[in-house]
């Protein structure tokens, strides 16, 4: 049985922190699906199609990683794609507390799907999509926080 993992998030935009987590998770899983979740409670800066395009460009030629857009419960999408693992990145203790609550709820809904936490590289600790969006909105240079393909598309 393949070890399929879902890395869910809004990825608005995809940051170097996200890429760091995916790249370091690659030895752990046979397939990583980066799931762009549509959340009615959030008003994204970038379209789901744009975020998916970035993911596909970043991992072009890497068969182990693919992007997808989904709606609804993450645990239901895991069942749809056959994922037995959910990958989450942790920057701070507060992230862990929040993520553990979600992991506990997901485990209650389906005990066969396990959440795996990876801590981010210290150099990416301050990289949060919220901060990056603020930098972009205010005309700042977000290059240090973004993969080259994301930065290049924003410059257009």
Q: List active site positions.
A: 18, 42, 91, 129
The per-residue pLDDT for range 53-107, each reduced to its tens digit, is 999 999 999 999 999 999 999 999 999 999 999 999 999 888 899 999 999 999 9
Global pTM reads: 0.95
Helix (H, G, I), strand (E, B) or coil at 37: strand
The CATH number of whichever domain residue 18 belongs to comes to 3.40.50.620
Question: With contact defined as beta carbons under 8 Å apart, do 101 and 68 qualify?
Answer: no
The per-residue pLDDT for range 2-18, each reduced to its tens digit, is 999 999 999 999 999 99
Question: With contact defined as beta carbons under 8 Å apart, do 15 and 81 qualify?
Answer: no
Rounded Cα distance between 106 and 142, Å, is 34
Domain limits for position 107: 4-155
Provide the domain count of the chain.
Answer: 1
């Amino acid at each position: 049985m393949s070890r399929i993992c879902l890395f869910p998030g809004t990825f608005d935009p995809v940051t170097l922190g996200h890429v760091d987590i995916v790249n370091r998770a690659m030895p752990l899983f046979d397939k990583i699906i980066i799931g762009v979740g549509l959340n009615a409670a959030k008003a994204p800066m970038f379209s789901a199609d744009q975020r998916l395009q970035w993911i596909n460009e970043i991992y072009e030629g890497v068969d182990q990683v693919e992007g997808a857009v989904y709606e609804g419960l993450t645990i239901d999408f895991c069942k749809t794609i056959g994922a037995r693992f959910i990958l989450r990145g942790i920057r701070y203790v507060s992230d862990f507390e929040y993520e553990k609550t979600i992991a506990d709820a997901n485990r209650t809904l389906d005990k066969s799907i396990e959440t795996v936490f990876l801590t981010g590289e210290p150099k990416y600790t301050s990289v949060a999509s919220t901060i990056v969006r603020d930098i972009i909105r205010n005309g700042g240079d977000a290059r240090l926080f973004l993969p080259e393909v994301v930065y290049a598309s924003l410059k257009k």
